[in-house]
């Protein structure tokens, strides 16, 4: 009898040990050496100046698409933006191209190329609505976040969607099998209510759980080449309300655009200063980085916008980068945020480019080497 009891205790211990080890391998996936190096290099770089970036910069621009080694920024100032961002919207459904009609294989190629140039890559995710079948902007139902969390009707389905994102992150490998470190910036602009994960569409607890679940799923899928960025769209007053916590976030950002013609510049500057002041204090105290994850003035109708509005709004603060949104190639859309040859802010952009604190690709050393 005693023997049997010992046997049972032994077997239970072995099973517990195995389960424990299994969990360990799952949860203790640390970031790759390149990802850790990138983070420390970014911290040093923010003392030198702020990098300039643009979304989809090398994929298309005004009047062109899919040309190698081209970008509207480069056509204007002769240099690449130091940061390029890309969007994974529709990857969750296994689509071949994203919501802006760009093939994921081209996005992957451009990410690896920009890494090889030594520049920084950021990734956003305008994920479709898993409950209604609509897009990110479909806010017709307020239970979407709840439905993807553990216990929700769409939880399993959404785990599959997260797996698609993880597969893409894991596929970002050079020919030497180095995994390319990227910034991942999901669940952005949640302080507004225009995305299904926005302010009025879920509770604070649900929003935080969404982040926790996302990062946990990435880790379980072996994603170890990602730094996470948080980017509300509002102002500093409600900045921390839904902050997932320092354990989840590497870079604290914000998305702020100028609207309503030139009179909007005052409001833009004010919001910028308020956010930057708050972030500067918080990040110094907590050893974090901050960035302007999205900014811009559509069609840049102010010829001096770059120096008189953007640069002045940033002042002496130390964001690691400022990124403007895309220059859509369909000219008739008039949806662009950076200058291109002939655009009215072109000359002023060159002045902005030459300023010692604005960093373009040639101003930075390779962000993945320890020479910084
Ligand atoms: C928005 C617009 C849309 C685009 C989306 C994702 O701000 O540019 O046209 O589909 O970003 O890139």
Question: Tokens for 139?
Answer: 């806010």
Ligand 1 mean position to 335 CA, how many Å? Answer: 9
Specify whether the CB–CB gap between 102 and 58 falls below 8 A. no
Digit-coded pLDDT (tens) for 194-220 = 999 999 999 999 999 999 999 999 999
Atom of ligand 1 nearest to the CA of 126: 6
Digit-coded pLDDT (tens) for 231-243 = 999 777 899 999 9
Minimum CA distance residue for ligand 1 atom 3:
100
Confidence of residue 11 (pLDDT cuts 50, 70, 90): low
User: Residue 100: its pLDDT value, please?
Assistant: 96
Q: Which position has the higher pLDDT, 305 or 8? A: 305
Q: What is the 3-state composition of the chain as percent helix, strand, coil, each rounded to the nearest 5?
A: 40, 15, 45
Specify whether the CB–CB gap between 257 and 300 falls below 8 A. no
Minimum CA distance residue for ligand 1 atom 10:
100
Alpha carbon distance 14, 11 (integer Å): 5
Which positions ≥6 away from 361 have C-beta within 8 Å?
A: 79, 80, 81, 82, 117, 118, 119
Q: Could you tell me where the DSSP H helices lie in 28-59?
A: 33-45
Confidence of residue 3 (pLDDT cuts 50, 70, 90): low
Burial of 318: CB neighbours in 10 Å, binned 0-12, 13-18, 19+: buried
Minimum CA distance residue for ligand 1 atom 4:
100
Atom of ligand 1 nearest to the CA of 335: 8
Ligand 1 mean position to 262 CA, how many Å? Answer: 23
The answer on pLDDT for 25 being more than 60 is no
Q: Please give the CATH architecture assigned to the domain spanning 31-363.
A: Alpha-Beta Barrel (3.20)
Ligand 1 mean position to 326 CA, how many Å? Answer: 8
Minimum CA distance residue for ligand 1 atom 9:
100
Q: Which position has the higher pLDDT, 186 or 329? A: 186
Atom of ligand 1 nearest to the CA of 100: 10
Alpha carbon distance 30, 115 (integer Å): 20
Q: How far is CA 214 from CA 106, 186, 208, 211, 284, in A?
A: 25, 9, 10, 5, 27
Mean pLDDT over all residues of the chain? 92
Q: Which residues line ligand 1 (CB under 6 A)?
A: 87, 99-100, 126, 325-326, 335
User: Residue 170: its pLDDT value, please?
Assistant: 98
DSSP assigned state of 96 = S
User: Residue 364: its pLDDT value, please?
Assistant: 97
If phi > 0 it is left, if psi is from -120 to 50 it is alpha, else beta; for residue 118 that is: left
Rounded average pLDDT over 249-257:
97
The answer on pLDDT for 19 being more than 60 is no
Q: Could you tell which of 90, 91, 99 is best to mutate to test the pocket of ligand 1, judged by most ligand atoms within 8 Å of the CB?
A: 99
Q: Which position has the higher pLDDT, 270 or 3? A: 270
Rounded average pLDDT over 57-83:
97
Share of the chain above pLDDT 90, in %: 86
Ligand 1 mean position to 354 CA, how many Å? Answer: 29
Rounded average pLDDT over 6-12:
54
Residue ranges per structural domain of the chain: 31-363
Specify whether the CB–CB gap between 171 and 107 falls below 8 A. no
Which positions ≥6 away from 60 have C-beta within 8 Å?
A: 66, 102, 326, 327, 328, 329
User: Residue 345: its pLDDT value, please?
Assistant: 98
Ligand 1 mean position to 30 CA, how many Å? Answer: 32
Digit-coded pLDDT (tens) for 50-65 = 999 999 999 999 999 9
Specify whether the CB–CB gap between 254 and 274 falls below 8 A. no
Rounded average pLDDT over 168-181:
97
Question: Tokens for 133?
Answer: 């079948």
Ligand 1 mean position to 9 CA, how many Å? Answer: 59
88: nearest Cα among 113, 130, 123 = 123
Ligand 1 mean position to 125 CA, how many Å? Answer: 10
Phi then psi for residue 154, to 5 deg, are -105, 15
Strands (E) across 73-194 are located at 83-87, 120-124, 182-185
Question: Tokens for 63?
Answer: 């009047």
Ligand 1 mean position to 88 CA, how many Å? Answer: 11
Confidence of residue 10 (pLDDT cuts 50, 70, 90): low
Rounded to 5°, the CA angle 24-28-29 comes to 130
Q: Could you tell which of 55, 57, 95, 100 is best to mutate to test the pocket of ligand 1, judged by most ligand atoms within 8 Å of the CB?
A: 100
Atom of ligand 1 nearest to the CA of 333: 9
Rounded average pLDDT over 113-137:
98
Ligand 1 mean position to 37 CA, how many Å? Answer: 31
- The three-state secondary structure class of 266 is helix
User: Residue 29: its pLDDT value, please?
Assistant: 53
The residues that bridge with 61 in the sheet, in sequence order, are 64
């Amino acid at each position: 009898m005693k023997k049997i009891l010992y046997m049972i205790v032994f077997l239970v211990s072995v099973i517990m040990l195995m389960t424990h080890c299994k969990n360990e391998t799952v949860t203790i996936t640390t970031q790759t050496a390149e990802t850790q190096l990138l983070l420390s290099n970014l911290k040093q770089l923010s003392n030198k100046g702020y990098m300039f970036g643009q979304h989809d910069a090398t994929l298309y621009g005004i009047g062109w698409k899919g040309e190698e080694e081209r970008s509207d920024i480069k056509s204007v100032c002769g240099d690449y933006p130091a940061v390029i961002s890309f969007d994974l919207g529709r990857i969750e459904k296994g689509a071949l191209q994203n919501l802006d009609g760009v093939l994921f294989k081209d996005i992957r190629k451009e990410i690896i190329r920009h890494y090889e140039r030594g520049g920084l890559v950021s990734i956003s995710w305008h994920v479709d609505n898993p409950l209604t079948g609509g897009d990110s902007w479909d806010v017709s139902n307020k239970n979407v976040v709840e439905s993807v969390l553990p216990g929700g009707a769409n939880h399993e389905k959404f785990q599959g969607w997260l797996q698609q994102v993880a597969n893409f992150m894991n596929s970002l490998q050079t020919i030497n099998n180095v995994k390319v470190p990227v910034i991942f910036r999901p669940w952005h602009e949640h302080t507004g209510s225009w995305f299904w994960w926005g302010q009025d569409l879920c509770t604070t607890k649900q929003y935080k759980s969404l982040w926790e679940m996302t990062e946990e799923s990435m880790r379980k899928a072996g994603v170890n080449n990602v730094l996470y960025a948080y980017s509300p769209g509002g102002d500093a007053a409600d900045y921390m309300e839904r902050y997932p916590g320092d354990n989840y976030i590497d870079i604290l950002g914000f998305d702020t655009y100028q609207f309503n013609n030139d009179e909007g510049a005052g409001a833009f500057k004010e919001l910028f200063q308020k956010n930057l002041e708050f972030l500067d204090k918080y990040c110094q105290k907590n050893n974090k980085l901050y960035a302007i994850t999205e900014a811009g003035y559509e069609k840049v109708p102010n010829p001096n916008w770059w120096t008189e509005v953007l640069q002045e709004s940033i002042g002496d603060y130390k964001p690691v980068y400022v990124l403007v949104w895309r220059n859509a190639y369909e000219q008739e859309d008039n949806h662009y945020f950076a200058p291109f040859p002939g655009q009215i802010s072109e000359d002023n952009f060159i002045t902005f480019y030459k300023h010692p604190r604005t960093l373009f690709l040639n101003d930075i050393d390779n962000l993945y080497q320890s020479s910084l």
